[in-house]
Amino acid sequence: MEDEPRPGRPVTACGDANISKVLVSLSDDRRKTCEEISTETSMSRTSVFRVLTNKLNKKKKFSKWVPHLLTDEQKESRVNFSRNFLRRFQTEQNDFLGRIITGDETWVYSWDPETKRQSAEWRDFDEPRPEKVRRKQGALKVMHMIFFYMNGVILRWPVPIGTTINAQYYKKVLQDKLKPAIRKKRPGLLESGILFHHDNAPVHTARAVRDVLAGYKLELLEHPRYSPDLAPCDFHLFPKMKEHLRGQRFETEEDIIQATKVAIKNLDKCSYVTAFKDWL
């Protein structure tokens, strides 16, 4: 069967020639608009859009914000860290995870807005969406240093207001706060051998800090640069802890400290195990 001839100009807008024109135009700049491509190729805007979507299966996607654009070397470092971590787990299983202590610092504010999920309400289908004013975090804040393992928090240390967290201060916390806390809560870890993990912030990687950790006979787990998604504090503990604090107002530093203490206490004990499983 064949189509009967009909009057009018044959449809060529999405032909191979025009597809090639659009591809060449995009090769110069993938951010071009349909109007810009239309002007450059002498095609109509509608034809350009059809070629892009129907023939080339293209979709304009917005950029997403990321903390850093990783270099190839940094990406390779992430892969190597992950391979070594998984290899150790496959060999040592839960004994490997059970010996890890991980920690980091985070700000806790006098007020943090609720997330979209937290502010969701059940409403009738014909009711409008609830509204709330966009507000900034509170001006008053307290830095907390938190270290935990598979069974819970070993140390929660609120840093006094006005204190600068440098290598000397971090070393002092490790010596005067963390080591006694380990000896009190998990003395067996000191004998079996602790695997210590923190990110590679300059404070953590300073020579004075590395010397202290070496003196404790801790094995330091290296952390790839710019990888908060591979740090259990960042991708699990801190977000879970702050869920309990969002939407509340605290008037004083002591209020923040006590609320943080309660928020950690209210975390499900399984949450810490989940953090390590999610890490895997």
Give the mean pLDDT per block of 10 residues along the chain (280 residues).
Answer: 62 78 88 90 90 89 82 94 95 92 95 74 79 74 96 95 94 95 86 90 93 87 92 95 90 95 93 94
pLDDT for res 129: 82
Q: Say how many C-beta atoms besides its own lie within 10 A of residue 24's C-beta.
A: 12
Separation CA 185–CA 197 (nearest Å): 18
Contact 142, 257 (CB under 8 A): yes
Sheet containing 100-109: give its strands across.
152-158, 141-149, 100-109, 195-197, 219-221
Tell me the whole-structure pTM to 2 decimals: 0.76
Our measurement of the distance from residue 177's CA atom to the centroid of its chain's CA atoms, rounded to an integer in Å, reads 27
pLDDT for res 269: 87
Instruction: Write the CA distances from 206 to 157, 186, 188, 225, integer angstroms.
Output: 20, 26, 28, 15
First to last CA, the chain: 60
Report phi then psi at 81, rounded to 5. -60, -45
